[in-house]
Amino acid sequence: MNLPSLRLAAAVLAGACLVTAPAPAAELPEATKKMLAKLKMDATVLQGLDEELKMPPEWIAGAKKEGKVTYFGTFGLSEWPQFIEPFKARYPFINVDHQRNSRIARVDKPLIAYKEGRVIADIIAAIAGQMKAYKEADALMDLRVLPNFARVDQDLRGKSGLWVGEKVKYWCMAYNTKFIKKADLPRTWDDILTTKAFHNGNIGVSDRPHNWILPLWTSKGADYTRNYITRFFREVKPQLRKEGARAIVTLTIAGEFHAAIPATDYRVAEYKEKGAPISWHCPEPTPVTTSELVIVKGTKVPNAARVFMNWYLSREGQIAQYYASGGAPVHRGLQDIGFSAFPEAIKGKRVAVRSPESLDDEFTLALRAWRAAWKDAGGQVEEASVAKKVATKLSKVLKGGRELAFGVGGAEHKVKISGSRTQIVVKGKPVRRNSLKQGMACDITYAGDGSEAKIVACK
């Protein structure tokens, strides 16, 4: 990834005496060696790690006394043990308790607790649309004290120092190699408007403007993007699809349309490796979203939290998260060296970054423009205002809670359950969707059969 305006921030903790943390980088943990071997990477990729693991001695001393850090994150149950292994080898005196919860439990609940004078999570990942609320509550620690904060590209960290990216995703287009030649691939997003091979239903588009339209909006401005949205629907005339990221890729493979927007590189790679006629391409600028990390102000373990966060932003921490979860690194030194399933599709290209701040007022404006054009083109929008609430019992819990079936007026309805957007509560407590069980009595708020549920509240 080639992010613009790369500049090393001013040195932090000016004049402070730095000390190398235990277990120097030269003595790589066995877990790190294993990761590099499986990724087929030479240890030189970690060049400079010794310097990156230097921290103020009081942090290390304080962390040894504090011991435990509570981290509300998004790592999968199988991903977390792989990711944390090198850290445990270097800092055995810090126990990082990772808790993966629903968005409400991960983001909303800690904010409510903070306003009540309690800190229930020391570090939180992916607070996204609640960034403004956290700022207004003065709930975030300034991360510019972290030496490795400056090693993250300036577009992937908050100007105020209140957040820093942990990984990035690229949202471009999947295309069927039987129908689209490389020579016809659009160099820019504007080229789609004039390339007839993509017109009249040959592109399938999901109702996911936050992944690609919002980055364009924040990068190229409101006027440009409003005009682009209008022309995209009126001139390109894409197929309007209700499917999500995985399904829209499989439909491209099946020939339902020639290309799909938006699509991630790792999702396309899953099918390409199996021999499917699919590939991935990025028009310029490349839409990028970042999952952000924050430290809650007032944490009782500030030193342990800083040690963990600084390691996470180091080359070793970033490679560990890539190894475990597949997220592209935010560390400048690890960009453009293959941390993408299709590195040639992004190398040397300008990017358009969706920052947490843009999910506030800017997203409202961008979404309004997108929704108007989507509706005019015949697309259906699940508005909160048309959602209804029914009291029912779950007759089926499918796909680990990703889909529910229940009775309504003698008919069976089904709803999709999002791990991030659907509010899921059981006996008054936020839970994950895999906690839902057949036979539960629930109040379900949804727009209609086949829609995504807004709220599932069960007894």
The predicted pLDDT at position 381 comes to 64
Bridge partners of 289?
169, 354
Token digits of residue 66? 């504090």
Question: CA torsion sign, 115 to 116 to 122 to 127?
Answer: negative
Nearest to 125 by CA among 69, 46, 178, 182: 69
Question: CA torsion sign, 199 to 203 to 207 to 209?
Answer: negative
The predicted pLDDT at position 361 comes to 65
What one-character DSSP code corresponds to residue 308? H
Q: At what angle do helices 361-376 and 222-231 cross, to 10 degrees?
A: 20
Instruction: Name, in order, each residue with C-beta under 8 angstroms of 420's C-beta and a sequence gap of 6 or more.
Output: 102, 103
The predicted pLDDT at position 386 comes to 54
User: Can you tell me whether residue 347 is helix, strand or coil?
Assistant: coil
pLDDT tens for each residue of the chain, 459 residues long = 333 322 222 222 223 334 444 444 458 999 999 999 999 999 999 999 999 999 999 999 999 999 899 999 989 888 999 999 999 999 999 999 999 987 788 998 999 999 999 999 999 998 877 888 899 999 999 999 999 999 998 889 999 999 999 998 899 999 999 999 999 999 999 999 999 999 999 999 999 898 999 999 988 999 999 999 999 999 999 999 988 878 999 999 999 999 999 999 988 988 999 999 999 999 999 999 888 999 999 999 999 999 999 999 999 999 999 999 888 899 988 876 667 789 889 888 898 988 777 666 677 788 889 999 999 999 876 554 456 889 999 999 999 999 999 999 888 999 999 887 788 989 888 888 999 999 999 999 988 888 889 899 999
User: For strand 95-100 and strand 278-281, is the pairing parallel, antiparallel, or unpaired?
Assistant: unpaired
The predicted pLDDT at position 6 comes to 25
Nearest to 172 by CA among 416, 1, 359: 1
Domains present along the chain, CATH in parentheses: 19-166+290-336 (3.40.190.10), 169-288+356-376 (3.40.190.10), 384-458 (2.40.50.140)
**What is the amino acid identity at position 445?**
T
Task: Please say whether the beta carbons of 277 and 253 come within 8 A.
Answer: yes
What global pTM score does this model have? 0.70
